[in-house]
Amino acid sequence: MKASRQTIEREQLLQRALDHLVQHGSNDLSLRTLAEQIGTSHRMLIYYFGSGTQFWQAVFQRLRRDQMQALSPWTHGPSRPGLMDVWAELSTPRNQSLFRLLFQVYGTALGQPAQHPDFLHEFVNQWIDMIAEVLQAEHQLAPAAARTQARLYLAVMRGLMLDLLTTGDLEGTTAAMARFVRSIEPPPPA
């Protein structure tokens, strides 16, 4: 089925907005300012998305999707990389930019929960669900234990990413991730 011209243009605007936000951050989340920065008008964004709130919800949903794709090599496929490989991918400059935006979006969603009612809950739970599924399959963990372990993995990755973005210390954060990985490895057989 062929997409309509309006759907294509809406998608292009959404991608331009996300690309701009990833590159420049979201220090000014006014619809008018962002529209100017991506070469359109706030009226066109409202036309394509229905309202400013719906536009930002679409941006946040796309951001969530892109973040899930960043983790998908670990959760899908016959050969899953280890946590150090996941960290190596997540700490690339492109993904650092995505995480920087993600943390800015978290702040916005936490500060305006009525405008973004599902973002935080869905985003955290999607990651936990994906990681828990892997832990259940690979380590035969019970569902509740897998979710608890997944929450810990997620907290460590996000914490180290926040540290990396704050300090720029890739070597130090990578060493901390390696230490975490060693701490969760099963003990060698006696």
- Which domains are present in the chain? 5-184 (1.10.357.10)
Cα 129 from Cα 108, distance rounded (Å): 24
Cα 190 from Cα 45, distance rounded (Å): 63
pLDDT value for 142: 93
End-to-end Cα, the chain, rounded Å: 60
pLDDT value for 163: 97
pLDDT value for 47: 93
pLDDT value for 7: 87
Q: How many residues does the chain have?
A: 190
pLDDT value for 29: 66
| Model confidence pLDDT, tens digit, residues 2-19 | 678 888 999 999 999 988
Per-residue pLDDT of the chain (190 residues; tens, 9 = 90+): 567 888 899 999 999 998 888 888 776 668 888 899 999 999 999 999 999 888 888 888 887 777 777 666 666 655 556 888 889 988 998 888 888 888 887 887 788 887 777 777 777 888 888 888 888 888 888 999 999 999 999 899 999 999 999 999 999 999 999 999 999 876 666 5
Sign, CA dihedral 9-95-125-146, equals: positive
Segment holding 69, helix H or strand E: helix 52-75
pTM of the model: 0.76
pLDDT value for 27: 67
Pair 87, 159: CB distance under 8 Å: no
